[in-house]
Amino acid sequence: MAFPLPRGITPSEISFLAEMETVTILPRQRLEGLELLGGPVEPLLPPRRASLPLWLALLLKRQRRANILPPPWLHPESLELILEIETKNDEYQHAFSPPPPLPGQPTPRDRRPPTTRPHYTPDGEKYYPAPPFLPQNTARDHIPPGEPPALPFHWLEVGTMLLEAASDDLVEPDQTRRLLKELREVRMAKIRSGVDVLDAAAMGGGGVALTGVGAMELGEGRRFIAGVVDGLRRIGASKEQARREEMAEEMANGGYDGTQDYEDGEMEF
Amino acid sequence: MDIDDILASVDRPDASTPESAALDHQLLTRFWVAERGVSELLPWPAALMERMMDRVRNQITQIEDLAASSTDPISMTTSTTNAATTNLTLSILQSDLSRTQYLIRSFLRQRLSKLTAHSMHYLLLISRQQPPSQSQDSQQQQQPEDSIPPPPNPHETNPTPLSAEEVSFLHAHQTLLAGHYGASFLGSFPQQLRRLDDNVGGVSMVQGPEEKEVVFVRCLGEEVRVVVPPGDGVERETLGTTMRMGDVWAVRWEGVRGAWGRGEVEVL
Amino acid sequence: MSYYDIDAILTDSQKLPCTFELEVPGLGILEGNPGENIKAGTRIDLPLWLGEMLSIGARLGTSRLVTLDLPSALSERVMNALKADPRTVELRSLAPHFYSLSERILELFEEEEMVEVLSNTFKKRSAEIADHAHNPQGALGQGADFLRGLDETERQLFRVAHDSAKETRIWAGEAKKK
């Protein structure tokens, strides 16, 4: 029984995942609330807005039973601003623009600890919600001043699907399409030129930060990045082993304090 | 509905509420992405899968009931607009069911492909909890099948990453394969060359998944250290780079496996 | 090294220079002189797996049969060329499994600098591979020469990068499924 897919979710699976993002709709007809395997769906009572998974919103939209209210980031003004951060800001010359924070995540400016506590699953394990199960693509009437626009994890998929099925609900769809394409090109170039810092992920205990990367971008780059890191790890295997043996010796002689085992490989694309 | 409300309501675990359906759906989705992303077989989420399969069964019954009532001549007196709404509801329920079935099917198939790719590795892993059987040590090894470790006792609690069904699948699969090898070519080899778990020449025939392979993770806890497992003479686990909440990193799977088990990182 | 990995087997059949330290009766067949002896000091290219086995005496404390040298694919001349410009060297003509061979050689020889040169080479060439793979015209453009010189590891990398880019374009509706 062969399983034909490579390791790591593929573009169509990433798209499937993005369809689980919650969006806001304006229903054009009534419908009772439903209990789906994916969770409860609230009743549709026009003209009240409702939040639904994207796949369901698209199903209703295609049958002209609802309009979709686009998320604030999918607006030419927001996209222009993000594009400017991606291209003009020195800090993000090799990194992606910062993503929307997780619930309770402290901003880099305030050094306070996160305010969130984990939830627990029915099996008693810790659970922190993350995309596609956060309201990163819902419409918002009020955006707190000073909150910069940010691309959510599934930006490219949600943007592309809304442009395809609900362009009449978007502000300036052509302009939006052009900006999405531009963003995609700018950011893919960052992934390609990021090869230079990948050795940080090739050593044990190391890693390379890709914070802000989108799901589809990761899908496009993952096998290449993994291949380069794998190659670098093999080339450096003998050196890594020698270093580990030295460390073992130091430990045996008590000359190793064990506080910081590796130089902090805080590398960024 | 706000995600926090959903989650807060399941802080006291009750698997029968609609909110817990949402949480289980999120857990299954996250587990599927992880299983698709890492090289080794992840521990079988027995309780979660049991709840999911119960819900799928119930949902199928619901859909069947609704479909039956919509074509029932007695209830056909309802207006046409009502019939249209029922059809819409049905198509929504069907889509939702297909999506869940896709998740489960892809998850199971990915697991089977890992099991068959490293069948001897996982057979040894699950039999390691067992005392070695007599035939293992005897010199009477004659057929490729003799290299297959015996399956664990089904009555014992299952400490392996495999479900009971996967254990019996794997054993049957490898027995068939070994029999096929024996009949088609290994049978004509000298007896000592018929094994499938040989270690002669320093190269083992039994290959496990590469745990040093790189994975992509998002840090969910406040701060998570990448680790280096013991090895190469270093006896204890050592610490590496620090990841912070919301960060996405490319790191070795073995360096974050523990944090993944604690729910502090998710595989992307 | 992986038991069922065909590339690992092919890597181990790549040759490297071995010098016999002792006279070995009857082994002349390695030199193309069946029945003759091999004299001490004879230098022949042997497959990696054989050379490694014959050189193992040193590790066991007995006098060794042969000493190994770096294969020409990893000679100082090649290292210098790679330091000058990694992108212009045709790795494939040096050794089809250039990096896998290096990995095996680095297990046998302590060559810290070689690790640096090869890591840097692999990174520079990988970046170039990514650029070519992203280009929908693929190998048809002026990159054909570079791509012809890729070793097996790099070809594999080119393939995954090309396939990923293509799958994404298909998803985005910019390309058709074949």
Report d(CA C144, CA B94) in Å as an integer. Answer: 50
Q: Is C60's pLDDT higher than 70?
A: no
The pLDDT of residue A20 is 98
Q: Is the dihedral of CA A187, A188, A189, A193 positive or negative?
A: positive
Main-chain phi, psi angles of B97, to 5 degrees: -65, -45
Q: Where are the alpha helices (DSSP H) in chain A?
A: 11-18, 54-62, 76-88, 155-165, 173-193, 199-202, 215-235, 237-252
The pLDDT of residue C27 is 81
The pLDDT of residue B138 is 45
Q: Is C137's pLDDT higher than 70?
A: no
Please give, rounded to a whole number of angstroms, the shortest distance from the CA of A116 to a CA of chain C.
35
| The 3-state secondary structure of chain C, one letter per residue | CCCCCHHHHHHHCCEEEEEECCCECCCHHHHCCCCCCECCCCEEEEEHHHHHHHCCHHHHCCCCCEEECCCHHHCHHHHHHHHHCHHHCCHHHHCCCHHHHHHHHHHHCCCHHHHHHHHHHHHHHHHHHHHHHHCCCHHHCCCHHHHHCCCHHHHHHHHHHHHHHHHHHHHCCCCCCC
Looking at residue C100, its amino acid is S
Q: Is B212's pLDDT higher than 90?
A: yes
- Mind listing the pLDDT tens digit of every residue in chain A (269 residues)? 568 888 899 999 999 999 999 999 999 999 999 999 999 999 999 999 999 999 999 999 999 999 999 999 999 999 999 999 999 988 898 899 999 999 988 876 666 677 777 788 888 888 999 999 999 999 998 888 888 899 999 999 999 999 999 999 999 999 999 999 999 999 998 988 888 899 889 989 999 999 999 999 999 999 999 999 999 999 999 999 989 999 998 888 876 655 444 444 444 55
A186–C contact, CB cutoff 8 A: no
Average pLDDT, chain B: 86
**Which of the pair, C56 or C120, is modelled with greater confidence?**
C120
ω before A173 within 30° of 0 (cis)?
A: no
Looking at residue A266, its amino acid is E
The pLDDT of residue B77 is 52
Query: Taking the domains of chain A in order of start, what are their residue ranges?
Result: 11-102+127-195, 237-268
User: Chain A contacts of C123, Cβ < 8 Å?
Assistant: 195-196, 198-199, 228, 232
Contacts of residue B248, Cβ cutoff 8 Å, sequence gap at least 6: A209, A210, A211, A212, A213, A218, B216, B217, B218, B219, B268
Least confident of B107-121, B198-212, C7-21: B198-212
Q: What is the pTM of this model?
A: 0.90
Strand partners, C38: C24
Report d(CA B44, CA B47) in Å as an integer. Answer: 9
Class of domain C72-171: mainly alpha
For B168-236, give the DSSP string: HHHHHHHHHHHHHHHHHTGGGS-GGG--SS--GGG--S-----TT-EEEEEE-SSEEEEEE-SBTTB-S
Query: Taking the domains of chain C in order of start, what are their residue ranges?
Result: 6-68, 72-171
Contacts of residue B18, Cβ cutoff 8 Å, sequence gap at least 6: A35, A39, A40
A199–C contact, CB cutoff 8 A: yes
The pLDDT of residue B135 is 44
Report d(CA A241, CA B178) in Å as an integer. Answer: 36
Cβ distance of A227 and C163 shorter than 8 Å:
no
Give me the architecture of the A11-102+127-195 domain, per CATH.
3-Layer(aba) Sandwich (3.40)
Looking at residue C81, its amino acid is A
Confidence of residue B121 (pLDDT cuts 50, 70, 90): very high
Which of B9, B41, B245 is best to mutate for the A interface (most A CBs within 10 A)?
B245
Strand partners, A44: A31
Cβ distance of B88 and A42 shorter than 8 Å:
no
**Which of the pair, B79 or B98, is modelled with greater confidence?**
B98
Q: Which CATH number is associated with domain C6-68?
A: 1.20.58.2050
Q: Which of A215, A135, A205 is nearest to B248 (CA)?
A: A215
The pLDDT of residue B83 is 81
The pLDDT of residue B157 is 58
CA distances, C48 to each of A162, A231, C25 (Å): 57, 20, 22
For A87-152, give the DSSP string: HH-GGGSSSPPPPPPPTTPPPSSS-PPP----EE-TTS-EE---TTSSSSSS--S---TT------
Report d(CA A125, CA B267) in Å as an integer. Answer: 16
Report d(CA A209, CA A184) in Å as an integer. Answer: 19
Helix (H) or strand (E) holding B242: strand B238-244
Contacts of residue B206, Cβ cutoff 8 Å, sequence gap at least 6: B120, B121, B124, B197, C3
A133–B contact, CB cutoff 8 A: yes
CA distances, B47 to each of A96, B13, C132 (Å): 39, 13, 47
Per-residue pLDDT tens digits for B49-60: 999 999 999 999
**Helix A155-165 with A215-235: angle, nearest 10 deg:** 150
Evaluate whether A154 touches A21 at the Cβ level (below 8 Å).
Answer: yes
Report d(CA A69, CA A60) in Å as an integer. Answer: 13
Q: Tell me, what's the ipTM?
A: 0.92
Looking at residue B1, its amino acid is M
Report d(CA A16, CA A161) in Å as an integer. Answer: 11
Please compute the mean of the pLDDT values over residues C98-125 and round it to a whole number. Answer: 94
Matching CATH topology for C6-68 and C72-171? yes
Per-residue pLDDT tens digits for B225-263: 999 999 888 989 999 999 999 999 999 999 999 999 999
Please compute the mean of the pLDDT values over residues C86-98 and round it to a whole number. Answer: 94
User: Chain A contacts of C157, Cβ < 8 Å?
Assistant: 224, 227-228, 231
C1–B contact, CB cutoff 8 A: yes
Q: In chain B, whose CA is at the least distance from the CA of C49?
A: B201
Evaluate whether B25 touches B41 at the Cβ level (below 8 Å).
Answer: no
Structure-token pair, residue C49 = 């797996």
Q: What percent of chain C has pLDDT over 70?
A: 90
CA distances, C41 to each of A151, B70, C44, C105 (Å): 68, 93, 10, 22
Cβ distance of A239 and C167 shorter than 8 Å:
no
**Structural domains of chain B sorted by starting position, each given as residue range(s) with its CATH number in brackets:** 13-118 (1.20.58.1030), 214-267 (3.40.5.60)
The pLDDT of residue C22 is 84
Q: Which of B142, B261, B118 is nearest to B193 (CA)?
A: B142
A120–B contact, CB cutoff 8 A: yes
Least confident of A162-171, A253-262, B6-15, B170-179: B6-15
Please give, rounded to a whole number of angstroms, the shortest distance from the CA of C45 to a CA of chain A.
24
CB-facing half-sphere around the CA of A96: CA atoms within 13 A = 28
Q: Is C50's pLDDT higher than 80?
A: yes
Query: SS3 of A240, please?
Result: helix
